[in-house]
Amino acid sequence: MQDFICTTCGVQYPPSETAPEKCIICEDDRQYVPPSGQSWTNLQRVNQQYKNMIEQVADGVYAIYTTPSFAIAQRAHFVQSPGGNILWDCITNIDKSTIAIINALGGIRAIAISHPHYFSTIIEWSKAFGDIPVYVNALDEQWLTRRSPAIQLWKEQEHPLWDGIKLVRCGGHFPGASVMYVSAGKGTLYVGDTIQVTPGSNAVSFMYSYPNMIPLPQRDIEQIKQAVDHLDYDVMYGAFGKYITHNAKEAVNASIERYMRIYG
């Protein structure tokens, strides 16, 4: 039995004798199947071929990413908080070194996922830290490739956690696409690519599909604005190492205004 992992999106499937016939994540029109077809690996081979980097990017905030890049190449963010640390989004590779370093930093109380492209090996991560809960918005349940009692489906517009941390459903990229709000300090949003920080780190973008370059319609952008407009935040962490370190809310509002001018 192997824990087959899609090499294109990095999402793990239940253990089986043979590889899945297809990847439901990649066959969705927000992702893609390579011209060469679907290919598969497993966690043991990923451990052998890749290593994780854990980089402190701010006080109490660490980016976790894989080198060389694997699959979508997103970053997870490990966020320290007095009531318990949280892993925002997830990456496929998890190994003994990663587990040891995170435990030395205080361990993880829970995992929260922005949308299905980052489901990766969430069950393996949960097991590694004591079967901790994995928060997934219920509107994205159909894309779960593995099931576990650790999966906690939340249905509210906002789901409170602890220490002023909450999950906020924005929709758009996926029906349940979400961000994580941390109220401490001047306020921080962890956005995955529900809201995509652009290369200049002073603006954001909104897409239905990033690899297929399909933009969101106006109504979905307005829905995202409504979801986050009441939050006070100054900093924003995106999924690919692009961060807005000050005036993030102003950058989001200016970007939305730009979209509205284009839509007319």
pLDDT for residue 264: 82
Report yes or no: 56 and 40 within 8 Å, Cβ to Cβ: no
pTM across the whole model: 0.97
pLDDT for residue 15: 94
pLDDT for residue 219: 97
Structure tokens at 43: 């966690």
CATH pick for 5-263 out of 3.20.20.370, 3.60.15.10, 3.30.1180.20, 3.40.50.300: 3.60.15.10
pLDDT for residue 61: 98
Helical spans, DSSP H, in the chain = 24-27, 43-49, 96-104, 122-128, 218-228, 248-263
pLDDT for residue 57: 98
Nearest to 21 by CA among 40, 8, 2: 40
Report yes or no: 121 and 92 within 8 Å, Cβ to Cβ: yes
pLDDT for residue 253: 98
Per-domain residue ranges of the chain: 5-263
Q: Is 118 helix (H, G, I), strand (E, B) or coil?
A: helix
Enumerate residue ranges in the chain where pLDDT < 50.
none
pLDDT for residue 1: 84
Cis peptide before 20 (omega within 30 of 0): no
Output the CA torsion sign for 145, 31, 193, 141. Answer: negative
pLDDT for residue 45: 97
pLDDT for residue 167: 98
